């Protein structure tokens, strides 16, 4: 995440935005990093990057320096363009990648820009079209489905998700920046909830984590996933239940048919655990 110095609009016009993304593309080819998502706003930038051998600091230094030179020359000015050093948050690739992609793509919606999700200067449209012009979309889409057509449909549906998905993403960023993960506390909360629910359902932990598709066990897993606190990541829930992170993400995003039984269980057990 990089912001304009003193909140200035440093990439306001389309020419500047195109120039910035061209610089990113140039360094992407040079340093062989992966770009999973981006959004260029008027006064700040979001990018989701996976580095290889070249460290992030060197990548960002190159991108920011080249853009600063362009900006200062174009507007006949000197000095800093970006606000101090960029901010970097480590993203767990398996556990939170989809949420962070969504968080990045929702920036124009939060800013009340007319185009909303269809904003020109984000990678959202690359995902909906299934063509990664600047972005490495395949890894993210495969988290939704191995079938690309189904993955694109799933992505579009996921992006319609509830506002709490975005609130959770914001919490994740804030938590990572403050460096207070509270992992042990969250684990105890999840464990306590699971014990209460399986006791009422009269099933064992072994049955819950067996991968069984029996209706009673499958519904119980769904209820646990739905009721898991928003500050517990998809990966943490998945590891606890011994299922895939993608499955947890789909259920949390509402990408399945919620039966009356699941609805009733959610209502009943939400009172039990609160």
pLDDT digits (tens, 9 = 90+) for 79-88: 788 876 788 8
2-158 and 181-273: same fold?
Answer: no
pLDDT-derived band at 121 (thresholds 50, 70, 90) equals very high
pLDDT digits (tens, 9 = 90+) for 217-263: 999 999 999 888 766 778 888 888 999 888 888 887 776 667 888 88
pLDDT digits (tens, 9 = 90+) for 2-27: 888 767 888 889 999 999 999 999 99
- 3-state secondary structure labels for all residues of 184-196: HHHHHHHHHHHHH
The pLDDT score that the predictor gives to residue 179 is 45
Burial class (CB in 10 A: 0-12, 13-18, 19+), 207: middle
Nearest one of 224, 230, 188 to 209, comparing CA atoms? 224
CA distance linking residue 224 with residue 233, whole number of Å: 13
- Between CA 155 and CA 41, with CA 134 as vertex, the angle to 5 degrees is 80
Indicate the average pLDDT of the chain. 84
pLDDT-derived band at 181 (thresholds 50, 70, 90) equals very low
What's the fold here for domain 181-273?
A: Chromosomal Replication Initiator Protein Dnaa; Chain: A; (1.10.1750)
Residue partners of 274: CB distance under 8 A and separation at least 6? none
| Domain covering 2-158: architecture | 2-Layer Sandwich (3.30)
pTM of the predicted model as reported, rounded to 2 decimal places:
0.61
CA distance linking residue 216 with residue 38, whole number of Å: 41
Q: Residue ranges of the domains in the chain?
A: 2-158, 181-273
Structure tokens at 110: 């939060």
């Amino acid at each position: 995440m990089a912001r304009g110095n003193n909140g200035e609009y440093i990439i306001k016009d389309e020419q500047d935005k195109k120039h910035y993304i061209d610089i990113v593309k140039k360094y992407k080819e040079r340093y062989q990093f992966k770009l999973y998502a981006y959004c260029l706003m008027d006064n700040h930038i979001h990018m989701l990057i996976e580095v290889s051998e070249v460290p992030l600091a060197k990548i960002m230094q190159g991108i920011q320096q080249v853009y600063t030179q362009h900006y200062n020359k174009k507007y006949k000015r000197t000095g800093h363009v970006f606000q101090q050093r960029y901010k970097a948050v480590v993203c767990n690739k398996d556990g939170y990648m989809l949420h962070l992609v969504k968080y990045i793509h929702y920036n124009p919606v939060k800013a009340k820009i007319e185009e909303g999700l269809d904003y020109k200067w984000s990678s959202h449209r690359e995902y909906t079209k299934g063509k990664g012009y600047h972005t490495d979309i395949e890894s993210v889409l495969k988290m939704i489905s191995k079938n690309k057509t189904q993955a694109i449909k799933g992505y579009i549906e996921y992006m319609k998700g509830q506002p709490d998905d975005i609130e959770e993403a914001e919490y994740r960023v804030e938590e990572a920046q403050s460096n207070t993960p509270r992992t042990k506390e969250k684990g105890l909360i999840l464990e306590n909830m699971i014990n209460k629910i399986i006791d009422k359902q009269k099933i064992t932990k072994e049955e819950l984590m067996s991968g069984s598709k029996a209706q009673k066990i499958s519904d119980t897993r769904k209820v646990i996933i739905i009721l898991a606190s928003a500050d517990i990541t998809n990966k943490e829930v998945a590891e606890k239940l011994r299922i895939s992170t993608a499955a947890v993400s789909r259920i949390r995003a509402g990408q399945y048919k919620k039966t009356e039984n699941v609805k009733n269980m959610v209502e009943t057990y939400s009172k039990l655990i609160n």
